[in-house]
Amino acid sequence: SGRAASDYLARLNPAQRAAVEHGVRAPSATGAAGAQVDAPLLVIAGAGSGKTDTLAHRVTHLLIHGVDPRRILLLTFSRRAAGEMRKRVERIAWRALGADAATLASGLHWSGTFHGIGARLLREYAGQIGLSPTYTIHDREDSADLMNLVRHELDFSTKDRRFPLKSTCLAIYSRVVNAQADLEAVLGLYYPWCAEWRDELRALFGAYVEAKQKQDVLDYDDLLLYCAHMMAEPALAADAGARFDHVLVDEYQDTNALQATILRGLKPDGRGLTVVGDDAQSIYSFRAATVRNILDFPSQFDPPARIVTLEQNYRSTQPILEASNAVIGLAAERYTKHLWSERASAQRPALVHVKDEADQARYVCARVLEQREAGVELKKQAVLFRASDHSGPLEVELTVRNIPFVKFGGLKFLDAAHVKDVLAVLRFAENPRDRVAGFRVMQVLPGVGPVTAGRALDALAAADDVAHALRTFSPGARPAADWAAFADLIADIRAGLHAWPAELDRIRTWYEPHLLDRYDDAPARLADLVQLAHIGASYPSRERFLTELALDPPDATSDEAGVPLRDEDYLILSTIHSAKGQEWQHVFVLNGVDGCIPSDLAAGSPDEIEEERRLLYVAMTRAKDTLEILVPERFYVTQQTAHGDRHVYGSRTRFIPNTLLTHFESTSWPREPGAQATTPEQARMHIDLAAKMRKMWG
């Protein structure tokens, strides 16, 4: 119906509307799919200008014009963002269609991160690209463990104790892969202190790749790398691309070379491609993301992409926007966007000076509670910080005061040893060649150490019948009964004796006695495993559960149960990186000091300092109504000097120099008694009162 169709677009401004309607035509009389698309579309615009909202409207618009939801590929930066996008689409569609909206939105099967979508495509094309269909996925920690294993096998770390740590090796490897650069260049640019080990690193990475292949495991980078290689096969690329009429990408400024290759593979002529982003918010270059992707996008296609820019900010009050614009205005790079807002306010963002991190935590708690008293739910307030471990003192204070919180980007629940044990059992059952998983689960058994586990894994690697090999392996006299029980467990799962997710209960029963042996707080840990089974029940299969958990784990909460209840209210804690794309009524930014933003890790390279400035910009532009940047006077940072490192106090971040102070309200907390502002009226009353008191005694 014509009337409804225009209603759901009514709130959009003309530029947003142009982006939403670009290339979409009404369904034709013949009933053929109505949406045809000409040139690719780029929406490049500042924070809070409605890019994501425009994308959601465009998806809805496509659906309403007859595009099959299963033929839309929607790529977001996190799984959470994908979920929120589906919800937005459903809400918008509801306005136009009423009851059918949910069905349409739930048909958006292909929405998720590049890594998640990559994993699914690879699973489908595994046979054609020579991947084992039962490959398992290593998360970063597993990858570092495997890197370590290989590192030891090659003996580099014993020969020279200064050899880079496993995490550094993995970071270098990952950067080479994601940037599609060569090792030499990456070492020279980002890891000059590791350059002397170039040859060893090359050998190490070769062996690491070989180990992954032997064990049928993929790491995060492989999910993109294999997809990109798949796209180099024209037939496969065409086949994959033909599944989708539309490919839409949010936060395009933070994609890397591999991701751009995958997109180009899917849609070589750009037809049906929509990307949105903001070059001033590119903050992932440490993961090899390159802002060139978005800047070069228009010229890659013929006809070139249509470019839409948006200038009205609907999120923040004008003072918050002005302060944010001033901060990004000092960037070395010139960003050409001029954002404005209709949301007037008399309140400038605050710079709150506190004594130290403990006071910072107390201040935030006090303010958060104050605002809740005033009727603002906790969920509408967020505390942002540069690095995940910066929220430690605050987490303690919140726990003491019983203020529930959720930490985005935190891994508390899944990082727990007992949860990892159970996941490793699943992974090992899925893929017995996965040595990292194998090592972990076997060593749960009493009396089994790395040597026995290593022998067992060697035996399995050579065997055709894994269950049989496991059962007949002799681990030595003592733990034989335990070994047999373990072999049965794996055989049962592999035979599919317990349907998903019932096998999680089977594992828990097997694991319980070991858990009781190992931990004093076994009951709490058992409760976690029950919770894990609940989480598992929301996935259709073991494979999907393992994949999604490895890629993008659920957010950690203050609640042992792991996942907040739907109606529960909780404060949001998040790294700035994980806060991308989101907004809250009240935003606190912790540690607005040099050495933190910019982080001490970034000291040195001007490019890295610039990225830190954009990071502060991203943090500030998350705020709708109030923004408070905390500045602890005492915050130790490490300073590199010619004579080695030394610790100094951080001072206010260099990104807010004195010249910008007019954009902020400066306060300190707790107020010194002497510093308390007293009006002349109050002062006169004090004197009057004092005089009165004296008079009472003559």
Partner touching 388 among Mg ion, ligand ATP, none, CB below 5 to 8 Å by kind: none
Residue 388 to residue 142: CA distance in whole angstroms: 20
18 makes contact with ligand ATP (CB under 6 A): no
To the question of whether residue 52 is assigned a binding role by annotation, the answer is yes
DSSP H helical segments within 233-317, as ranges? 234-241, 257-266, 292-296
Radius of gyration over every alpha carbon of the chain, rounded to an integer in angstroms: 28
Interface residue with Mg ion among 241, 410, 501, 581 (CB under 5 A) is: 581
Which range of residues in 49-57, 113-121, 292-300, 634-642 is near ligand ATP by CB under 6 A? 49-57
As beta bridge partners, residue 584 has 623
Partner touching 315 among Mg ion, ligand ATP, none, CB below 5 to 8 Å by kind: ligand ATP
Interface residue with ligand ATP among 22, 71, 79, 315 (CB under 6 A) is: 315
The Cα angle at residue 394 between residues 391 and 399, in degrees rounded to 5:
120
Question: Which residues, at least 6 apart from 194, have a Cβ–Cβ distance to it below 8 Å?
Answer: 164, 168, 172, 187, 201
Q: Which residue, among 311, 310, 318, 309, has the nearest Cα to 341 in the 3D structure?
A: 318
Which range of residues in 7-15, 205-213, 292-300, 595-603 is near ligand ATP by CB under 6 A? 7-15
Which range of residues in 9-17, 178-186, 204-212, 603-611 is near ligand ATP by CB under 6 A? 9-17
Which range of residues in 12-20, 115-123, 366-374, 458-466 is near ligand ATP by CB under 6 A? 12-20
Which range of residues in 46-54, 439-447, 502-510, 689-697 is near ligand ATP by CB under 6 A? 46-54
At 287, list the tokens.
Answer: 């993961």
Partner touching 341 among ligand ATP, Mg ion, none, CB below 5 to 8 Å by kind: none
Interface residue with ligand ATP among 8, 16, 138, 252 (CB under 6 A) is: 16
Interface residue with ligand ATP among 116, 272, 554, 581 (CB under 6 A) is: 581
Partner touching 16 among ligand ATP, Mg ion, none, CB below 5 to 8 Å by kind: ligand ATP
621 makes contact with Mg ion (CB under 5 A): no
313 makes contact with Mg ion (CB under 5 A): no
At 99, list the tokens.
Answer: 């009851």
Query: CA torsion sign, 318 to 319 to 320 to 325?
Result: positive
594 makes contact with ligand ATP (CB under 6 A): no
Interface residue with ligand ATP among 20, 42, 49, 89 (CB under 6 A) is: 49
Partner touching 314 among Mg ion, ligand ATP, none, CB below 5 to 8 Å by kind: ligand ATP
431 makes contact with Mg ion (CB under 5 A): no
Binding residues for ligand ATP, how many (CB under 6 A)?
19
Q: Which residue, among 134, 686, 693, has the nearest Cα to 429 in the 3D structure?
A: 134
Residue 653 to residue 590: CA distance in whole angstroms: 11
Partner touching 50 among Mg ion, ligand ATP, none, CB below 5 to 8 Å by kind: ligand ATP
Pick the closer one to ligand ATP by CB: 12 or 463: 12
Pick the closer one to ligand ATP by CB: 208 or 284: 284
Query: Site residues for ligand ATP, window 368-427 (CB under 6 A)?
Result: none
To the question of whether residue 47 is assigned a binding role by annotation, the answer is yes
Beta-carbon count within 10 A of 185 CB: 12
61 makes contact with ligand ATP (CB under 6 A): no
Q: Which residue, among 655, 584, 565, has the nearest Cα to 624 in the 3D structure?
A: 584
CB-CB contact of 353 with 633 (8 Å) = yes
DSSP H helical segments within 463-501, as ranges? 466-472, 480-494
Shortest Cβ distance from residue 621 to ligand ATP (Å)?
Answer: 6
Residue 46 to residue 291: CA distance in whole angstroms: 14
Residue 411 to residue 691: CA distance in whole angstroms: 62
Q: Which residue, among 647, 653, 613, 612, has the nearest Cα to 630 in the 3D structure?
A: 653
Cα torsion for 416, 421, 422, 424, to the nearest 10°? 120
Shortest Cβ distance from residue 278 to ligand ATP (Å)?
Answer: 5
What residues line the site for Mg ion (CB under 5 A)?
A: 51-52, 581
What residues line the site for ligand ATP (CB under 6 A)?
A: 11-13, 16, 45, 47-53, 278, 281, 314-315, 581, 583, 621
